[in-house]
């Protein structure tokens, strides 16, 4: 049994992580930390867990009682926490923020299973990929690996409101978000750093730019990405490359019909599809931003790090209607 501690447990990712782990047969939640909610029932904050969870938020940090700690902090707080607290070297860390995703002076492994499965299995500290970064990379990986696209890669992605976190803001307020759509962080989104890192890893010296336009959608969960780039290979050969690349992937599925986002919401699945328009290759992917884009992928990585079945606790099904 993997003993789990959760930091920042009162936010969307913390609540979703608790929900997933409650159904994980090989995991036990030892503590869920929240300074602002210490002593309160978890189900008083994450009300969907009423009747399923008697756990209370803790102010204590009993790291000596756990095997792994999940950081569900806002961006920038993970590095600060590690500078102020000592976590035993035998305790694994899975960070869901962006603090350690870019290679540098740290020992965190970038945790995209579709590219780093073997490295993840042996790591002690893991940086979980961003939600947009996951969806965009899954659309591009086979094409980059096989060297079949060139030039600028144009990407459009739309995300649900939970991607902005639980803290209310001007662009998350219901009356603003509902029946609305807007663009933000055009060509400058922070996830471009890790996307470009992977591009250079798979295709060193690739000169094309990833031109990304993120959009806020008027729905709660999910990410839908469309990307296109120049490709001279016939479509049937491209499809075979994609099918072969994802043949052994636990949750990423190459499909022959353009997918709908509803097919992946509330699951850890990613669906990927391609189509050709003259010399342009259209690449589509969709995920649930809180699951495959965050918590689900984090649990998938935990399973790999502890030698468990990669799918354990994540056999979630979409309603699709």
Q: For residues 113 and 286, give the distance between their C-alpha atoms in angstroms, rounded to a whole number.
A: 16
What is the three-state SS of 184-211? CCCCCCCCHHHHHHHHHHHCCCCCCCEE
Query: 69 and 94 in contact (C-beta within 8 Å)?
Result: yes
* Dihedral angle, C-alpha 52, 58, 61, 65, nearest 10 °: -40
> Among residues 271, 319, 320, which one has the least CA distance to residue 292?
271
Q: 259-285 b/e with 16+ CB inside 10 Å = b?
A: bebebbbbbbbbbbbbebeeeebbbbb
Beta strands of 49-191 (E only): which ranges? 68-71, 92-95, 109-110, 125-127, 150-159, 182-183
Provide the H-helix boundaries in 23-69: 42-45
Q: For residues 16 and 22, give the distance between their C-alpha atoms in angstroms, rounded to a whole number.
A: 10
CA angle (43 as vertex; 41, 46 as ends), nearest 5: 125
Set 53, 72, 123, 131: catalytic member: 131
Q: Is residue 123 annotated as part of the catalytic site, yes or no?
A: no
Q: For residues 220 and 164, give the distance between their C-alpha atoms in angstroms, rounded to a whole number.
A: 10
Query: 32 and 14 in contact (C-beta within 8 Å)?
Result: yes
Q: Considering only CA atoms, give the Rg of the chain.
A: 19
Q: For residues 133 and 292, give the distance between their C-alpha atoms in angstroms, rounded to a whole number.
A: 11
Q: Which residues are catalytic?
A: 131
């Amino acid at each position: 049994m993997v003993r789990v501690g959760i930091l920042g447990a009162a936010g969307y990712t913390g609540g979703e992580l608790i929900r997933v782990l409650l159904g994980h047969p090989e995991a036990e939640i030892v503590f869920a930390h929240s300074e602002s909610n210490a002593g309160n029932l978890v189900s008083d904050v994450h009300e969907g867990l009423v009747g399923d969870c008697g756990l209370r938020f803790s102010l204590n940090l009993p790291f000596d009682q756990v095997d792994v700690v999940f950081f569900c902090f806002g961006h920038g707080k993970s590095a600060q926490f590690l500078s102020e607290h000592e976590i035993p070297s035998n305790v694994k860390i899975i960070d869901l923020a962006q603090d350690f995703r870019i290679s540098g002076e740290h020992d965190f492994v970038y945790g995209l299973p579709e590219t780093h499965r073997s490295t993840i299995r042996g790591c002690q500290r893991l940086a979980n990929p961003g939600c947009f970064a996951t969806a965009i990379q899954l659309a591009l990986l086979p094409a980059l690996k096989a060297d079949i696209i060139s030039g600028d890669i144009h990407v459009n992605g739309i995300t649900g409101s939970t991607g902005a976190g639980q803290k209310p803001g001007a662009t998350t307020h219901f009356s603003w978000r509902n029946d609305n759509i807007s663009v933000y962080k055009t060509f400058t989104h922070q996830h471009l750093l890790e996307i470009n890192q992977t591009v250079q890893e798979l295709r060193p010296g690739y000169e094309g730019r990833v031109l990304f336009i993120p959009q806020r959608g008027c729905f709660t969960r999910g990410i839908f990405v469309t990307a296109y780039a120049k490709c001279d290979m016939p479509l049937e050969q491209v499809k075979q490359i994609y099918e072969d690349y994802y043949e052994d992937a636990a949750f990423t599925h190459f499909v022959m019909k353009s997918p709908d986002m509803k097919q992946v919401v509330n699951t850890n699945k990613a669906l990927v599809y391609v189509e050709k328009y003259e010399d342009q290759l259209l690449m589509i992917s969709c995920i649930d931003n809180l699951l495959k884009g965050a918590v689900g992928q984090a649990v998938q990585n935990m399973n790999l790090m502890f030698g468990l079945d990669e799918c354990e606790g994540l056999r979630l099904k979409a309603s699709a209607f």
